[in-house]
Structure formats: C-alpha cells, structure tokens
Structure 1
Amino acid sequence: MFSKRIFTSISMGCLLFCLTVNYAAAKNPPQVGDRLEDVMSYSLPAPGPEEHRTYLGLSPDQDSMTLQELEAAYVLVEVVGVYCPVCHTQAPDMVRLFHRIQRDTALSGKLAMVALAAGATPMEVEHLLRTWRFPFPILQDGDYSLHKILGEPDTPFTFLIDGEGNVLYAHLGRINPDNLFNELQKLP
C-alpha cells in the first residue's frame, strides 16, 4: 500500500513537471513592439516562379534569401499551413489585399508581401500557388525552423515588420483585409 502511494505521488509529480516544462518552453507569437532580428536574417529557399523572384528583387540564380535582403521598407508576412482550413478561406482576401496594395502608389513601392508555408514541401508550395493563385511569393519553411523562431503560432498568423525587424502589426487568425489595409496606409 505504501509503495503504491509513493508510485502515484512520483508519477503525478513527473506529469506535473512535464506539463510545466512544456508550458514554459512554449513561446508566444511576436507582438507589436517586438524585434525579430533572427527572423530577418533567417535563410529560406528562394521562391521558384520568376515573377515572384522579380517582385522580391532576387536574381534568377539565387537559391536562398533572407527578409533583410528585400528592398522594401516593410514586409507583410502571412504564416500559413497547407492543411489549415482558415488559411484556405482567407486566401482570396489576401489576393485582394495584395492588389489593393499594388494599386496604392504610397504603399506599392515600400511594402513587400509574402506567405510563409510552415512545414510545407516544395510540392505542397506548388499546390498552394496553383490553388490560391497568390500573385506574391509563398516561401517554404519545410522543417518548421522559422515557424519555431516565431513561437510556433497557429495559422494563419499575419505580421508586419520594418527593415530592422520591428513588429508593427501582429494578428493571429483570420484578418479583416479592409482594417489591415487602413492600418497599412498609415505607414510613414
């Protein structure tokens, strides 16, 4: 009887310890005011389509890229999951947002827009490009490395950073594209 109580106590203690360690290890996604220097310098595979490379200012033979290499003063990033139903539902809104940004003379030259496909294979990125018809690049984060640096946010997670990696906007879940566009128009 005594050993059963000790075993139960030790088991409960170990369970509580494991839950506490997992909770403590979990990071929060970036918030407005955070600085993401490691995200800016993280190397990702360059997008495949030539028009996406041109949009980002990459050379045709460039195999990898970082966000800090982009000539844009701001980068709007949407972290997506290939099998995320909300991401699929939001895709048309993101396409419309991109076109609104491109038509806005104040924003089009200073804001780049990319999607980051967390955990996606090259074939899955190609599928997303065909399905969503994004006119902007979908960057592959096949091993979730950048996703982990971002605190492993659920998808979709949308954030805006400046050239130094300062987070100016962060939103977990489906966005309201009109509200986001209004916020983007306030950029200096």
Structure 2
Amino acid sequence: MPKRLPCALVLACLLLASLSVQGLCAEPVAAGGTIPPDMSLLAPAAPEDRAYLGLDDGPVFKLSAIKADFVILEVIGVYCPQCHIQAPFFDKFFARLSADPVHGSKIKMVAVATGATTEELAYLRETGKYKYPVASDPDYVAHKQMGEPKTPYTMLVNSKGQVLYAQVGIIEDVNALYEQFATLTR
C-alpha cells in the first residue's frame, strides 16, 4: 500500500498540471469575438497589393488602415501544406471579389503569413500561388492577438475588429463562401 500512494500522488499532480496547461492554451477568435483594429502587420512589398488595400508606403500597417468596410483575413503558414492546397480556391474567390462592383469595393482580402520572413514572402509571390496580397507577421504578434489559430484560418472582420465569420481548415466551396460573405456584409 505505501508504494501505491506515491504513484497515485504523481498521477494526481500530472493530471492537475495538464488541466492548468489546457487553461492557458489560446483559443482562436471565433465569430462573435473581436480582434484589435490596430493590429499591426508588415505591409506587402508589391505596389499593386498596397494600392488594392489602400495603404501608404510605410513598412507596417494597421488593420484599420485598410480602405474597406470588411476585411477577409486568411491566416497562413509559408510551409503549411493545407494552405498551399487552399490557395487556388482562394485565388478564384479573390478574382470574383475583385470583379464584383458592389462587394469588391467594400470587402478587401489579405493573407497573413505568420512567422514569415521577407525572403519567404518574396518566394510566395514568385511562385504565383497567392494572387492576393500577403502581409507578414514575422514575430507572431498578430497571430497571438488572433488567438494563435491553426492554419489555414479564415476570418471576415468589420472595421471595428468584430469577427463575423471564422473557419479553420481548407474551404473548397468558395462559391458558397462568397454568398455567405455577401449576406454577412449587407
């Protein structure tokens, strides 16, 4: 019996420790939550991406500086295979959004490459996988403000930072997503 007591104590301590660690883990911001509208990102290098987002020439921009009523944030990882699978679907989404005279002016789209270096961003642009703007969060500061979501993570936010839509994982049916965003942004 005395040998069982230390073993039970160790197991109880491990259980308590695991429960306290679970409480400390971040949860991604879900629909109904908010992200800071002053969240900062490294600006896209391409002049056409800056123009699309309505940004000046500064190296950093705040989410609130994007000239739109709503912003689609696509949180990606440079080496995330699911993100690369999703990219062509979102390229089609971006093309449709850009051609839409109603929604294209009030909704803008930007990928947030968490942990990406300048060189990695340049590589993403050179490969042509992302036809829409890609901003960088090299030190994971914005990623933490969004609750450290797994990638890909898609959010639709308004100008106040309110999250209207949030989804983790690959979204293949971009037509249904487009219609849902059109409804959410009326």
TM-score (norm 2): 0.91
Match for 2:89 among 88, 93, 108?
93
**Structure 1: distance between partners of 2:119 and 2:71:** 25
Offset of 1:5 from its aligned partner? 4.5
* 1:88–1:68 distance in 2 versus 1, CA, 3 Å: same
SS at match of 1:14: helix
* CA distances 1:76-128 after superposition (whole Å, capped 9, x unpaired): 01111112111101111111100100111111111110001112111111112
Q: Report the counterpart of residue 22 of structure 1 in structure 2.
A: 21
Identity rate of aligned residues, in percent?
37
Please say if residues 38 and 63 of structure 2, whose CA atoms lie closer than 8 Å, have aligned partners that are also in contact. Answer: yes
**Structure 2: distance between partners of 1:124 and 1:50:** 18
Q: How does 1:146-185 map to 2 (within 5 A)?
A: 146-175=142-171, 176-185=173-182
SS at match of 1:169: strand
Offset of 1:131 from its aligned partner? 2.1
Of 86-95 and 119-128, more deviation after overlay is shown by 119-128
Match for 1:137 among 128, 133, 136?
133
Q: Report the counterpart of residue 43 of structure 2 in structure 1.
A: 46
Unaligned runs of 5+ in 2: none
Please say if residues 44 and 65 of structure 1, whose CA atoms lie closer than 8 Å, have aligned partners that are also in contact. Answer: yes
**Structure 1: distance between partners of 2:20 and 2:144:** 17
**Structure 2: distance between partners of 1:147 and 1:22:** 19
Offset of 1:179 from its aligned partner? 1.0
Q: Which amino acid is 1:113 matched to?
A: M
Q: Which amino acid is 2:42 matched to?
A: P
Unaligned runs of 5+ in 1: none
**Structure 2: distance between partners of 1:171 and 1:90:** 13
SS at match of 2:49: helix
RMSD: 1.7
Q: Which amino acid is 2:177 matched to?
A: L
* CA distances 1:18-44 after superposition (whole Å, capped 9, x unpaired): 2112211123222221122x2x21121
Offset of 1:135 from its aligned partner? 2.9
Q: Number of aligned pairs?
A: 184
Please say if residues 72 and 155 of structure 2, whose CA atoms lie closer than 8 Å, have aligned partners that are also in contact. Answer: yes
**Structure 2: distance between partners of 1:151 and 1:104:** 31
**Structure 2: distance between partners of 1:14 and 1:143:** 34
Q: How does 1:67-146 map to 2 (within 5 A)?
A: 67-146=63-142
Q: Which amino acid is 1:122 matched to?
A: T
Q: Which amino acid is 1:131 matched to?
A: T
**Structure 2: distance between partners of 1:14 and 1:141:** 37
